[in-house]
Amino acid sequence: MPSIRRSPSVSDSTTSNARAGGTGGSKLNLSYAQSGVNLEEKDSFTESLGSLMRRTHGPRVIPNPGGFAGLFRLDYNEKLFARNYKQPVLVACADGVGTKLKLAIEIKKYDTLGIDLVAMNVNDMIVQGAEPLFFLDYIAVPKVDKALLNELMKGIVEGCKQSGCALLGGETAEMAGLYAPGDFDLAGFAVGVVDVARAVNPTRVEVGDVVLGLASAGVHSNGYSLVRKIVEAAGLDLHAPEPAAVDRPRRVTAAKASTGKRGGKAGKGANGSAREATLGETLLTPTRIYARSITKLLGSYKVKHVISGMAHITGSGMSGNLCRALHPKVDAVVRKSAWPVPAVFQFLQEKGGVSDEEMRRVFNMGIGYCVIVKPSFAESVAQQLRKLGEKVYVIGEIVKGKGEVREVE
């Protein structure tokens, strides 16, 4: 099996033949399983991953059965390497899903968390102008639960497929005693490539450039400590439908997972009927992945620097992220009225009594990604992104300033 995931690491010092303290020996006959680590379950799960991972592999992944690491070919002087880079630079990043995991644990829905994990990494990476190459995941659990792990892995594979990168390997850490029963954590690591001459550079941003905003799919993967606090303080029922939290009726079935596409297509359940999404399911809508759209857009302009800068709008909102795409002599003026704020944010604000300023400091408020473009190309770029499936809004422009974002009415 190519790129076999390594065995779960064990972060305690327990041995398989533990001995009691003292010099007289012991009549104890302990095992690893008694300490909370089940090697048989781990091996069974590891062996089941090959077909899932291969769904994300292309010709650049080198089969490495039994390997301790994954192998990926960098054929930048051959046609195999799609972009045919002249001076390739690797781009790497790491991220997690945060406390969105706690909400998923509460309603026992895990199938889209892997999409969030991939999205939080590749959406950061493409800001540099990079093409995602491969992804690695880290899953930490108190004990191996194959049903849970398979749900998580399906989401990770789906996220890799959406972003066009290979799932090259990963780690499943079984750490008895460190995590409470039912808890777990996720982390991801992504590597991409960009030609050094094409890497996005804030110094290219100029006065007069236009800021385009790409719609988010919802809350994405930031601000869930506040989301969960609102749910708790307002006594909201995560298991019941909440029409006020959605922009249009979203119907799901228990048997079919969301894939991160907008709209929540109706489907038939085991009894031939569909139902409205619960509040919990709405809040777990996976983070939108912009990688394919942005990669194709950048590929359309191989000579001209049409794209001045980009930003992934995550924690700290528009002001805390778009400023990272600016140099100290310009500001971005963003019109808050330029796009519709999704119902889920209005619902959370009302239920939690959260101020406008705090909402915009914490959440994306409906814009998940920004592209700064030269004014003469703004309409063309917007049209290309729309054809690629994005909802695009002209949300602002670049003016003289100090490297800040000014949000205006």
Q: For position 71, what pLDDT does the model report?
A: 86
- 140 and 278 part of one domain: no
- 274 and 337 part of one domain: no
Rounded-to-integer distance, Cα 288 and Cα 162, Å: 9
For 252-294, the pLDDT digits (tens) are: 554 444 444 444 433 344 454 678 999 999 999 999 999 999 9
Q: For position 82, what pLDDT does the model report?
A: 56
Domain assignment present for residue 11? The answer is: no
- 112 and 142 part of one domain: yes
Better pLDDT: 104 or 267: 104
Q: Angle, nearest 10°, between helix axes 146-163 and 39-47?
A: 30
Report whether pLDDT(380) > 90: yes
The mean per-residue pLDDT over the stretch 404-409 comes to: 97
Report whether pLDDT(89) > 80: yes
Q: 222: closest CA among 134, 310, 312?
A: 312
- 46 and 183 part of one domain: yes
User: Do 269 and 105 form a contact (C-beta atoms < 8 A)?
Assistant: no
Residue 278 is classified by DSSP as: B
- 362 and 215 part of one domain: yes
CB atoms near residue 151 (< 10 Å): 19
What is the model's pTM? 0.85
For 106-118, the pLDDT digits (tens) are: 999 999 999 999 9
Better pLDDT: 34 or 228: 228
Query: Which residues sit opposite 134 in a β-bridge?
Result: 166, 191
Q: For the stretch 363-384, what's the b/e string if a residue is b when 16 or more beta carbons lie within 10 angstroms of its beta carbon?
A: bbbbbbbbbbbbeebbeebbeb
Percentage of the chain modeled with pLDDT above 90: 68
Report whether pLDDT(79) > 90: no
- 159 and 51 part of one domain: yes
Report whether pLDDT(305) > 50: yes
Q: For position 12, what pLDDT does the model report?
A: 43
Rounded-to-integer distance, Cα 337 and Cα 354, Å: 19
Domain assignment present for residue 16? The answer is: no
Q: For position 170, what pLDDT does the model report?
A: 92
Rounded-to-integer distance, Cα 356 and Cα 349, Å: 8
How confident is residue 9, by pLDDT bands cut at 50, 70 and 90? very low
- 140 and 251 part of one domain: no
- Radius of gyration of the chain from Cα atoms? 23
How confident is residue 20, by pLDDT bands cut at 50, 70 and 90? very low
User: Do 330 and 205 form a contact (C-beta atoms < 8 A)?
Assistant: yes
Better pLDDT: 123 or 31: 123
The mean per-residue pLDDT over the stretch 312-321 comes to: 96
- 273 and 124 part of one domain: no
- 141 and 184 part of one domain: yes
- 218 and 334 part of one domain: yes
Q: For position 75, what pLDDT does the model report?
A: 67
Question: Where is 140: in which H helix or E strand?
Answer: strand 131-141
As to burial, measured by CB atoms within 10 angstroms (0-12 exposed, 13-18 middle, 19+ buried), residue 133 is buried
For residue 353, what are the contacts with CB-CB under 8 A and spacing of at least 6?
A: none
The number of distinct structural domains making up the chain is 3
Phi, psi (degrees; rounded to nearest 5) at 46: -60, -45
In the three-class reduction of DSSP (H, G, I as helix; E, B as strand; rest coil), residue 227 is classed as helix
- 293 and 318 part of one domain: yes
Taking the CA atoms of 382, 383, 388 and 389 in sequence, report the sign of the dihedral they define: positive
Cα angle 142, 145, 150; round to 5: 125
Rounded-to-integer distance, Cα 315 and Cα 124, Å: 12
Domain assignment present for residue 26? The answer is: no
The mean per-residue pLDDT over the stretch 355-363 comes to: 97
Picking from 77-81, 119-123, 194-198, which range would have the lowest pLDDT averaged per residue?
A: 77-81
Q: Name the residue type at position 209.
A: D
Question: Which range of residues forms the domain containing residue 99?
Answer: 35-195
Write the CATH number for 336: 3.90.650.10
Mean model confidence pLDDT for the chain: 86
Structure tokens given for 113: 């968390």
Domain assignment present for residue 270? The answer is: yes
Q: For position 27, what pLDDT does the model report?
A: 79
In the three-class reduction of DSSP (H, G, I as helix; E, B as strand; rest coil), residue 139 is classed as strand
For residue 23, what are the contacts with CB-CB under 8 A and spacing of at least 6?
A: none
Domain assignment present for residue 180? The answer is: yes
The mean per-residue pLDDT over the stretch 16-31 comes to: 57
User: Do 366 and 345 form a contact (C-beta atoms < 8 A)?
Assistant: yes
Domain assignment present for residue 59? The answer is: yes
Percentage of the chain modeled with pLDDT above 70: 85
Q: Angle, nearest 10°, between helix axes 224-233 and 343-352?
A: 50
Write the CATH number for 155: 3.30.1330.10
Residue 223 is classified by DSSP as: -
In the three-class reduction of DSSP (H, G, I as helix; E, B as strand; rest coil), residue 335 is classed as strand
For 131-160, the pLDDT digits (tens) are: 999 999 999 999 999 999 999 999 999 999
Domain assignment present for residue 5? The answer is: no
- 247 and 310 part of one domain: no
Q: For position 273, what pLDDT does the model report?
A: 60
Picking from 109-123, 190-204, 332-346, 375-389, which range would have the lowest pLDDT averaged per residue?
A: 190-204
Rounded-to-integer distance, Cα 266 and Cα 273, Å: 9
Domain assignment present for residue 265? The answer is: yes
Q: 221: closest CA among 105, 121, 92, 142?
A: 121
